């Protein structure tokens, strides 16, 4: 199966970017037995996926049924886990919170790009669609890179 047996997409609240990335990945990579999850860094209570993110996923024939926001915990992570964050500050926070973790990158860094994935929270459906398109490109690059590693 290769180096990573688990992939965790991480954003702030686990209601928008990371669940969208999880849904895109699961749609693109249906034959892998790699476990794919999404988590947030600031999850104060369990809530469903953001309604606008859900609309955009449905528009693209994707869904994450029964998604409930969950915070990243040490028990989610082992030596075969790859963590992909949406921003450099999220990566930094994870590295501070879990100092033994080595396999954490921003999704753009892992895909060979620079910068952060902008949070569409509070924006229009167009903002969510733009985020989805960007995540689609980055997740495709991630799938290709992980498959090349095997």
Catalytic residue among 76, 116, 119, 127: 119
In sequence order, which residues have a C-beta less than 8 Å from that of residue 107 and are 6 or more positions away? 9, 21, 84, 85, 86, 117, 135, 138, 139, 142
* Beta-sheet strand order (sheet of 81-85): 35-40, 6-11, 81-85, 104-106
123 vs 132: CA distance, rounded Å: 13
- Helix and strand element counts for the chain (H, E): 5, 4
Catalytic residue among 11, 34, 39, 131: 11
Six-digit token pair at 115? 């910068």
**11 part of the active site:** yes
Catalytic residue among 17, 34, 39, 131: 17
Six-digit token pair at 7? 């992939």
Q: Which residues pair with 82 in a beta bridge?
A: 7
**17 part of the active site:** yes
**16 part of the active site:** no
Q: Which residues are catalytic?
A: 11, 17, 119
């Amino acid at each position: 199966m290769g180096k990573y047996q688990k992939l965790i997409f991480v954003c702030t609240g686990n209601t928008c970017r990371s669940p969208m990335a999880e849904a895109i990945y699961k749609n693109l990579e249906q034959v892998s037995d790699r476990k794919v999850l999404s988590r947030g860094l600031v999850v104060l209570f369990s809530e469903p996926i953001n309604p606008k993110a859900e609309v955009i996923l449905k528009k693209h024939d994707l869904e994450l049924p029964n998604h409930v926001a969950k915070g990243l915990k040490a028990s989610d992570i082992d030596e075969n886990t790859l963590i992909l964050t949406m921003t450099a500050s999220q990566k930094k926070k994870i590295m501070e919170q879990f100092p033994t973790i080595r396999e954490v990158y921003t999704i753009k860094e892992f895909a060979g790009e620079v910068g952060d994935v902008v949070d569409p929270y509070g924006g229009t459906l167009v903002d969510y669609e733009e985020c989805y398109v960007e995540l689609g490109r980055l997740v495709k690059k991630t799938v290709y890179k992980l498959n090349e590693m095997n």
